[in-house]
Amino acid sequence: MHIPHSIVILVFVCCISAAVIIGGMHYYETQRLWRDAAIAEEAARESEAALQAIIADAPVVERSISQGETISIFYPTHDQSDLLCNSTPTKYHTHASGILFFVAAQYDMTDDIVCTLGEKTIARIAVTDRKFATTHLAIPPEYLFFTPEQRRRIQSEKAILRDIYANSSHVFHFNMFTSTPYERITSPYGEQRIYQNGTVSVHNGTDFGLGVGDPVYAIGDGTVALARNLYLCGNTVIIDHGLDVFSVYCHLDRMTAAEGQQISANARIGDAGESGLTVGSHLHLAMKVGGVWVDPLAFLAHARAL
C-alpha cells in the first residue's frame, strides 16, 4: 500500500509532538510530586523540630486529685521506657507525640503520687483528703464470720481476681459512658461502715438501688475478663477496658455476658439481683484503676475529658 509522504511526515510530527507533550506532562507531574514531597518533608522537619523542642522542654506534670479520683496524664515524649507510679508498673497508651496514662488515688491514700519514665520524673500528683460518709449497719451475723470452707473459697477466688487484675490489655478503649444510667445511689464510694460488732469496712464501689431483673449495662467498651459466681460478690461481671482500668458489677441475678466477649459501652451484661453477700437487691459498681479502687462516678465524670 502506498502512503503519501505528506501523511507519513504528519504522523511523525504528531507522534513527536505527543511524545513531547506527554513527556512534558510527565516531567511537570514529577516536578509537582517532588515539590509536594519537599514541602511535606520540610513541614515534617519543622514539626519534628518543634516536637523535639516540646519533648526536650516538657516540664514535670503537676496535678492534684482528691481521694477516690482518677486523672489521665499526657506527657510529650518518644521515650518508651518503663513507667512507674509510686513504684507500681503503669501501662500507657502511645501517641505519635507522647504517652497517655492514668493515675488514681484510693480512698485511703495520702501520699503524693510520683511517676517516673526510665530515669526521669514526669508527673507529681498531690492527693487531697476527702470527707467520706460513715454509716452504722446491722448485717446477718454469718456475714461477719466465715467458716474455714468459706475462707478457702474466698482465698481461691482472690487468686483468680489477682490474676485478672494483673493481665489488663495494653489497648485502652476510649468509648466510655460519662455517667451511669441509674438514678438512685443507695451507698456511695468510700463510705465507712461500722457493723454491730464494731468491725469497720470501707465501701470500695458505688451501690445503686436496682430491683431484681433490672438491666445492668457495661460502662464502656472492653473485654469481659470474668463472668462467674463469687462467694462475696455473687454473680459478677468484670470488664477490662485496657491500661489497668476495670469495671466490676456485683450481686447480679443473671449474667448475659460471657468471659472473653468483646463488649460495647451500652451493652446489657446482665440483670441486677441479690446474689452473694448482700442484704437486698442492688448493683454494686466498682472500678479498679492501676490496682486501686476508685470512685466510679468520679472516673466517669473524668472520662468526659478523654
Residues binding Zn ion (CB under 5 A): 205, 207, 284
Smallest gap from residue 37 Cβ to Zn ion (A): 60
Q: Which is nearer to Zn ion, 207 or 244 (CB)?
A: 207
> Which one, 115 or 272, has the nearer CB to Zn ion?
272
The three cell numbers locating residue 194: 461500722
Shortest distance in whole angstroms from residue 107 CB to Zn ion: 13
Alpha helices, H only, 97-203:
148-165
As a whole number of angstroms, the distance between CA 30 and CA 24 comes to 10
Q: How far is the CB of 58 from Zn ion (least distance, A)?
A: 40
Q: Is 144 left (phi over 0), alpha (psi -120 to 50) or beta?
A: alpha
Q: Which is nearer to Zn ion, 173 or 284 (CB)?
A: 284
Distance, in Å, from the CA atom of 284 to the CA atom of 251, rounded to the nearest integer, reads: 7
CA distances from 193 to 116, 131, 135, 224, 283 (A): 36, 14, 5, 30, 18
Q: Which residue lies nearer to Zn ion by CB, 99 or 272? A: 272
> What minimum distance in Å lies between the beta carbon of 139 and Zn ion?
12
Nearest distance, CB of residue 284 and Zn ion, angstroms: 3
Comparing CB distances to Zn ion, the nearer of 284 and 288 is 284
Tell me how far apart the alpha carbons of residues 73 and 61 are, in angstroms, rounded to a whole number. 8
Q: Residue of minimal CB distance from Zn ion?
A: 284
